[in-house]
Amino acid sequence: MDGKKFTVTGTYNEKKEDKKFEKQITAVNEKYAMEKTLSAIGSKHKVKRNKIKITEVKKTE
């Protein structure tokens, strides 16, 4: 199955400071793109999922 490209934007709280992010994700659907983003941000920055706020998921070409 071929994946679609999504741009996921949002913020996460790290050391009492909100930081913005914009991530390009290849996923089957919007929900899976959000899940992959939570996993990637949490893993890279050691941030719990409840500290990550996704504001927009947009399908890109």
CATH classification at residue 38: 3.10.20.10
What pLDDT shows up at residue 23?
Answer: 96
What pLDDT shows up at residue 3?
Answer: 87
Contact between residue 40 and residue 21 where contact means Cβ atoms under 8 Å apart: no
| pLDDT tens per residue across all 61 residues of the chain | 578 999 999 999 988 899 999 999 999 999 999 999 999 999 999 999 999 999 999 999 8
What pLDDT shows up at residue 1?
Answer: 56
What pLDDT shows up at residue 22?
Answer: 97
In DSSP terms, 53 is beta-bridged to 11
Dump the DSSP string for 37-55. Answer: HHHHHHHHHT--GGGEEEE
> What is the number of structural domains in the chain?
1
Domain that holds residue 45: 4-60
Enter the pTM of the model: 0.87
What single-letter amino acid sits at 16? K
